[in-house]
Amino acid sequence: MYRSTTCGALRASNIDSEVILSGWVQKVRDKGFVVWVDLRDRYGITQLVLDQDRTAKDLLEKAKELGRETVIQVKGQVIERASKNANIPTGDIEVLVHELHILNESILPPFTIEDETDGGEDLRMKYRYLDIRRNPVKDNLIFRHKVTMEVRKYLSDQGFIEVETPYLIKSTPEGARDFLVPSRMNEGQFYALPQSPQTFKQLLMVGGMDKYFQIVKCFRDEDLRADRQPEFTQIDCEMAFVEQEDILNAFEGLTKHLLKEIHGLETGDFPRITFDEAMRRFGNDKPDIRFGMEFGELNTVAQHKEFNVFNTAELVAGIAVPGGASYTRKEIDKLIDWVKRPQVGAKGMVYVKCNDDGSFKSSVDKFYDQDDLSKWAEVTGAKAGDLICVLSGNTNETRSQLSALRMELAERLGLRKPDEFAPLWVIDFPLLELDEETGIYHAMHHPFTSPKPGQLQLLETEPGNVKANAYDLVLNGNEIGGGSIRIHDKDIQATMFKHLGFTPEEAKAQFGFLMDAFQYGAPPHGGIAFGLDRLVSILGGQETIRDFIAFPKNNSGRDVMIDAPANIDDDQLKELHLKLDLE
Ligand code: ASP
């Protein structure tokens, strides 16, 4: 028997009992006549003690020699500690060692295995198995397990069945590139790894499974973006005989359940806003509503004066920054530089200080009098002591710039509190999205999303204005879930493909299996998928998904621990009928 208990279990009530412990040596403190060893396992740390009076000499010497991260087994007696440590659960006791076996030596680890480590990110990724021994990483993985179990429990209790779908498939368009797998047995042909199980879950609905879920890996070959993983996990769900309302209720239920079980929070009904409203009020389709600073549109009150920058703008919009009137000239200049950075892209920023005495001081006093500025304050909801920041220009660009500014200021003002949770639904997304460069319309969600009832005919005349039966669940400024009611009619699906630029032949070649299936009594259906990695990190009060993944890839899509991707040898290439041309 390697152990009778764990390193996190022993308390004062265990004093006098004989125990066997196994674990890793975290630290040895050698005072000559007495040696203390911190022994660690997944459950905690237990202090071992050996001393001149009570321990055989060779055993004491052996303990002094122990190196960090050596794996040992000890037998001993639980005794009361002379100086207790209230910071750890086992702090009342220590184990007086009678026997010590070295199970495996360790070479010197490249960084200290402690909560505050001296190892940088790259080093910790290379030795991720050592990083996982540290509490912050270990606790995150355990937290993820807890969330995952709650998801399974809740959905299973609601009658959902977890069904696995294949990983070696044909392309499923979710807007990214596919990872491809060459087929050895079918020369010149490739599987694609799923960007999502979208088509399979719809086929499961045709198969009568009616309530499906799967915690599933998805693969998307996207260009470098911070905090994105090429493989990530979805809680993928689909239901038959449902309308949008049913889906929203079912998955609001799941989210409420998680907030309750994980954080003990009772959450009221989630607000619902349309995509158009989200863009108008927050400049963003995944608004963080933990704080205000909503947009005020100033066109009517700021245009038609002498200020040409505003007169020629499609949109003039501002936000009220709480307490911002106290910013110095220098601080405001820095803010203006910030919005002019290429990543944000504003040309400039107009500001108004709302003084405590009710007067206003703006950067455009030449053009606007106190009366004008008081209207701006009214529209943006600015109070005495606030700063109004105003951007202008093309509507979409101005909204996205002002949204970036709003988020940045909220971050600086500490308004994005990690232990506060503000979920909401964003609904009525546009069905199609215009690619400004190519002039081609793409499905905003995916090609299987149904238009809102009665909007199908608009596809011909005003494709950009067709609304979809699509929705996102947003939490703290992040899209944590998204889905839609699907098309379940073959002809409508064919029309949709036509509008997305597929010829009938192309549509048949790529999605014939789905349209065929629709001929055999496809029920009305819809669903949603949650990004599990993101959901877990937000629930964990953190923003980096890497910290909640056991073996993540770095920002260049590499696993630096196993060193993948890697070259393959010529024989393998030949077997796969592939030739590399790296010129
Ligand atoms: N397959 C979609 C996605 O990955 C989710 C859904 O529509 O259910 O975003």
Question: Are 408 and 433 contained in the same domain?
Answer: no
Q: Is 221 annotated as contributing to ligand binding?
A: yes
CB 553 within 8 A of CB 231: yes
| Predicted pLDDT at 583 | 67
Distance CA 127, CA 564 (A): 14
Q: Is 58 annotated as contributing to ligand binding?
A: no
Task: State the SS3 of 29-79.
Answer: EECCCEEEEEEEECCEEEEEEEECCCCCHHHHHHHHCCCCCCEEEEEEEEE
Collapsing DSSP to helix, strand or coil, 91 comes out as: coil
CA of 526 to the centre of ligand 1 (A): 10
Domain-located, residue 109: no
Question: Are 407 and 428 contained in the same domain?
Answer: no
DSSP line for 227-259: T--SEEEEEEEEEES--HHHHHHHHHHHHHHHH
Long-range contacts of 575-583 (CB under 8 A, 24+ apart): 575/184, 576/182, 576/183, 576/184, 577/182, 577/184, 577/187, 577/188, 578/182
Which residue out of 165, 169, 178, 196 has the highest number of ligand 1 atoms within 8 Å of its CB and is therefore the one to mutate? 196
b vs e for 87-126, b when ≥16 Cβ sit within 10 Å of the residue's Cβ? eeebbbbbbbbeebeeeeeeeebeebbeeebebeeeebbb
Q: Which two tokens stand for residue 278?
A: 């989200």
Atom 1 of ligand 1, nearest CA residue? 198
Report the atom number in ligand 1 closest to the C-alpha of 237.
Answer: 8
Q: Is 323 annotated as contributing to ligand binding?
A: no
DSSP line for 416-439: S-TT---EEEEE--BSEEEETTTT
Atom 4 of ligand 1, nearest CA residue? 196
Question: Are 436 and 550 contained in the same domain?
Answer: yes
Q: Which two tokens stand for residue 361?
A: 């001081």
Which residue out of 222, 235, 236, 444 has the highest number of ligand 1 atoms within 8 Å of its CB and is therefore the one to mutate? 236
Q: Which two tokens stand for residue 273?
A: 């806003």
Q: Is 402 annotated as contributing to ligand binding?
A: no
Average pLDDT for the chain: 96
Interval 434-446: pLDDT, tens: 888 888 889 999 9
Domain-located, residue 153: yes
Atom 7 of ligand 1, nearest CA residue? 483
For residue 199, what is the domain's CATH number? 3.30.930.10
CA of 506 to the centre of ligand 1 (A): 22
Collapsing DSSP to helix, strand or coil, 175 comes out as: coil
Q: 198 CB under 6 A from ligand 1? A: yes
CA of 287 to the centre of ligand 1 (A): 20
| Predicted pLDDT at 454 | 87
Q: 528 CB under 6 A from ligand 1? A: yes
Q: Which of residues 381, 412, 443 is at a domain's end?
A: 412
Question: Are 365 and 226 contained in the same domain?
Answer: no
For residue 300, what is the domain's CATH number? 3.30.1360.30
* Global confidence as pTM: 0.94
Domain-located, residue 86: yes
Distance CA 429, CA 470 (A): 6
Letter for the amino acid at 350? V
Other Cβ atoms less than 10 A from the Cβ of 537: the count is: 24
Residues 6 or more apart in contact with residue 220 via CB below 8 angstroms: 174, 176, 177, 179, 195, 230, 232
Question: Are 402 and 496 contained in the same domain?
Answer: no
Domain-located, residue 119: no
Report the atom number in ligand 1 closest to the C-alpha of 470.
Answer: 7
Which residue out of 228, 234, 533 has the highest number of ligand 1 atoms within 8 Å of its CB and is therefore the one to mutate? 234
Q: 527 CB under 6 A from ligand 1? A: yes
Closest CA to 448 of 530, 511, 517, 532: 511
Closest CA to 381 of 301, 296, 279: 296
Alpha helices in 383-473 (DSSP H): 395-412, 458-461
Distance CA 220, CA 229 (A): 8
Question: Are 548 and 473 contained in the same domain?
Answer: yes
| β-bridge partners, 30 | 35
Collapsing DSSP to helix, strand or coil, 172 comes out as: coil
| Predicted pLDDT at 523 | 98
Question: Are 347 and 450 contained in the same domain?
Answer: no
Question: Are 450 and 565 contained in the same domain?
Answer: yes
- The two beta strands, 211-219 and 161-162, are parallel
| Predicted pLDDT at 227 | 82
When divided into structural domains, the chain yields a total of: 3
Instruction: Give residue 397's domain range.
Output: 291-412
| Predicted pLDDT at 89 | 97
Domain-located, residue 324: yes
Measured at the CA of 507, the angle between CA 505 and CA 510, to 5 degrees, comes to: 105
Q: Which two tokens stand for residue 517?
A: 């299936």
> From its phi and psi, is residue 32 left (phi > 0), alpha (psi between -120 and 50) or beta?
left
Long-range contacts of 441-445 (CB under 8 A, 24+ apart): 441/499, 441/500, 441/501, 442/175, 442/500, 443/173, 443/496, 443/500, 444/468, 444/470, 445/470, 445/482, 445/483, 445/484
Q: Which of residues 104, 129, 146 is at a domain's end?
A: 104
Domain-located, residue 191: yes
Question: Are 222 and 88 contained in the same domain?
Answer: no
CA of 251 to the centre of ligand 1 (A): 14
Question: Are 62 and 142 contained in the same domain?
Answer: no
Report the atom number in ligand 1 closest to the C-alpha of 526.
Answer: 8
Question: Are 404 and 373 contained in the same domain?
Answer: yes
For residue 78, what is the domain's CATH number? 2.40.50.140
Distance CA 168, CA 490 (A): 25
Question: Are 563 and 522 contained in the same domain?
Answer: yes
Q: Which two tokens stand for residue 29?
A: 């403190």
CA of 29 to the centre of ligand 1 (A): 55
CA of 50 to the centre of ligand 1 (A): 59
Q: 483 CB under 6 A from ligand 1? A: yes
- DSSP H or E stretch at residue 513: helix 504-517
Q: Which of residues 377, 412, 447 is at a domain's end?
A: 412
CB 241 within 8 A of CB 210: yes
Domain-located, residue 543: yes
Q: 482 CB under 6 A from ligand 1? A: yes
| Predicted pLDDT at 196 | 97
Q: Is 178 annotated as contributing to ligand binding?
A: no
Give every residue of the chain whose pLDDT is below 50, as ranges.
none
CA of 188 to the centre of ligand 1 (A): 30
Q: Is 40 annotated as contributing to ligand binding?
A: no
Distance CA 68, CA 308 (A): 70
| Predicted pLDDT at 456 | 85
Q: 174 CB under 6 A from ligand 1? A: yes
Domain-located, residue 87: yes
